[in-house]
Amino acid sequence: MNQQSLHEIEQIVGYKFSDHELLYKALTHSSASDNRLASNERLEFFGDAILDVVICQTLFERFPDYLEGDLTKIKSTLVSRRTCALVARRLGLEKFLEVGKGVADSRALHGSGTGRALPGSLAAGLLEALVAAIYIDGGFEAARSFILKTFASLIDKANAQQAQGNFKSVLQQYAQQELNITPIYQVLDEKGPDHNKCFESEVVIAERHFPSGWGTTKKQAEQKAAFNALVELGILEDSFTDIDH
């Protein structure tokens, strides 16, 4: 791997290494090394623990009202191999992993035209090894900064999924933490007889009006309006539809 590639990785992760040999080891799979101790396996083991600590601390501080079970569910989603692989792919790290011929042939066979697709376990291990390399080279705060920068949106989405319909609570947490403001809900319309009314509500955050939502109660309409706002803000994907409560 040349210096240009190492510099490109540093730009992607937002951290400049003092020890480029450490970075190179993080990017070397055991299949590409004659000695497994010279590969990223040990770094992967260490990085998994660092990631776990940072995510746990972040969730503990960010959600003071959540019980242990709620925190565990969110944490499990965030530190899973699937999520770590997703982060590695989003950052475009896959192409930098040095692999042996067998893995390279498999990657080319199952890849997406570029021949660079990695199995999820390898992509996840790459991210964990990189976390450990940053920690060893720059300390805990450097590793923590990298993790929080790359997992920020995923923490929001994992929390929204865990909320299971309490979208008002998720939106309020986001608005207060990120914008230092509380969302305002407004009833725009109501239809039907008194015994069978429907309500239309919208949410306003910092004078920004989000798509409205309808419900058979004001509470339900507000939940749907909060859901629409979370989707528009990119915190939640438009696939969580169980909000009729």
Contact 150, 87 (CB under 8 A): yes
Active site residues: 48, 128
> Under 8 Å CB-to-CB from 56, ≥6 apart: which residues?
71, 75
Would 223 be classed as within a structural domain? Answer: yes
Does residue 116 have a pLDDT over 60?
Answer: no
Would 242 be classed as within a structural domain? Answer: no
162, 194, 217: which is the final residue of a domain?
A: 162
Are residues 145 and 200 both part of a single domain? no
**Segment among 17-26, 53-62, 87-96, 113-122 with least mean pLDDT:** 113-122
Residue 139: predicted pLDDT: 97
The model's confidence at residue 69, banded by pLDDT at 50, 70 and 90, is confident
Average pLDDT rounded to a whole number, residues 168-176: 88
Prediction pTM value: 0.64
Residue 109: predicted pLDDT: 40
Residue 12: predicted pLDDT: 93
How far is Cα 17 from Cα 79, in angstroms, rounded to an integer?
24
How far is Cα 114 from Cα 94, in angstroms, rounded to an integer?
11
Residue 158's domain comprises: 3-162
130, 162, 194: which is the final residue of a domain?
A: 162
**Both structure tokens of 228:** 């629409």
Are residues 59 and 178 both part of a single domain? no
| Exposure on the CB side of residue 125, measured as CA atoms within 13 A | 21
The model's confidence at residue 58, banded by pLDDT at 50, 70 and 90, is very high
pLDDT, the chain, mean: 85
More confident residue, 228 or 195: 228
Residue 160: predicted pLDDT: 65
Are residues 149 and 185 both part of a single domain? no
Are residues 141 and 202 both part of a single domain? no
What is the per-residue pLDDT across 126-170, written as a single tens digit (0 to 9) for each?
A: 999 999 999 999 999 999 999 999 998 888 877 766 665 578 888
